[in-house]
Amino acid sequence: MRQVLLAADTPVVVANATGCLEVATTIFPYTAWRCPFIHCAFENAASTLSGVETAYRALKKKGKISQDIRFIAFGGDGGTYDIGLQALSGACERGHRMLYVCYDNQAYMNTGIQRSSATPLGAATTTCPAGKLLPGKSQNRKDLTEIMAAHHIPYVAQTSPGRWNDLVSKTQTALRTEGPSFMNVLSPCPRGWRFPPNETIKIAQLAVDTCLWPLYEVVEGKWRLTYRPKQKLPVEEWLKTQGRFAHLFKGDNQQVIEQLQAEVDRRWEELLEKSS
């Protein structure tokens, strides 16, 4: 969040869906935000900011506002991939000039580490625990970045704090874009992923180097890789850093790692074909 806001060179208005980011930065009666900030419900950050952006355009047209202002919505994967997808899709279809940033920590971390559609295959959560019947989540994660690219909005990007320069550069591009823009940002969660906090950036980068979380952008329909690993690492190098995948290295669960590797390889090859 700090990296995104530091990249803005104009005043911003922020809408933040209920979630980890909102709870950690707005402990009543205090706030960490130094810009206009709207806390909204889990599912409607995009709708809330759509209304604010529309009011801004109307007031600017009437000459009541002269300042150049940008609008940024933050939502977690639960509030974006799942219960907020309808609001986000509608905002993009209507063409509001706003940047939506998905804070993707791959589960409903704020409410108890329940699985979301962003949770990877094999991950253990409180609603898909690893046990005798199932080795964690049995479905592959939804590819939200591709879904947003299918909206044919001007700018879509996938990035990671593991490559801070990539994140900042894409934020600047998104804020310069006329019309809707979307960024999906991998956000490792020490509590939910079960790893020491000082390994956050290392794990964020490993996701990129294993191609589980490739860095790319779609600008006016043109796909472009923004980072290509010198050596594509096996996905198990990322899995073994996190307690939520520890069960995959025991018993007969190795096959889940093989399934995940095959899915990562397939999606990576598709991305290479699309990218210029």
pLDDT digits (tens, 9 = 90+) for 205-244: 999 999 999 999 999 999 999 999 999 999 999 999 999 9
Cα→Cα distances 189→86, 248, 256, 268, Å: 25, 19, 22, 24
Q: Could you tell me the two tokens for 1?
A: 């969040």
Buried b (16+ CB within 10 A) or exposed e, 188-226: bbbebbebeeeebeebbbbbbbbbbbbbbbbeeeebeeb
Distance CA 157, CA 149 (A): 9
Q: Left (φ > 0), alpha (ψ -120 to 50) or beta: where does 206 sit? A: alpha
Average pLDDT, integer, range 107-126: 97
Q: Report the pLDDT value the prediction gives residue 28, as an integer from 0 to 100.
A: 86
Q: How confident is the model at residue 259 (pLDDT cuts 50, 70, 90)?
A: very high
Q: Which domain holds residue 263?
A: 2-274
Q: Is 5 helix (H, G, I), strand (E, B) or coil?
A: helix
Q: Report the pLDDT value the prediction gives residue 27, as an integer from 0 to 100.
A: 87
The CATH number covering residue 151 comes to: 3.40.50.970
Q: pLDDT tens digits, residue range 36-86?
A: 999 999 999 999 999 999 999 999 999 999 999 999 999 999 999 999 999
Residues 178, 180, 181, 184: what is their CA dihedral angle, to the nearest 10 degrees? 170
Average pLDDT, integer, range 191-209: 98
Q: Could you tell me the two tokens for 212?
A: 């589980």
Q: How confident is the model at residue 168 (pLDDT cuts 50, 70, 90)?
A: very high
Domain tally, the chain: 1
